[in-house]
Amino acid sequence: MTYRVLRIDEQLYGCEELPEGQPVCCDVLLEDETGERRVIAYPDAELTRLGIDEGDTVRLDHHTLIRL
């Protein structure tokens, strides 16, 4: 299924520190062709590596985003 990336927000950790070895994650708001929305957590560095930004079209394949 394909989605449009509506919003990317870095997760807030408040006064708690990120556990050692855990990547910084973002909440990614996705919308499918029917208008159904869902939020997934995704590593920030991976979004950057893939060049995924708000407004892009992506496919979600077994919890992996693929930029189209």
The Cα 27–Cα 64 span in angstroms is 14
The overall pTM is greater than 0.85 = yes
pLDDT in 10s for each residue of the chain, 68 residues: 899 999 999 887 666 777 777 888 999 999 999 999 999 999 999 999 999 999 999 999 998 999 99
d(CA 19, CA 64): 22
Round to whole Å and give the CA distance between 32 and 1.
7
Any idea of the CA torsion for 6, 53, 43, 59, to the nearest 10 degrees? 70
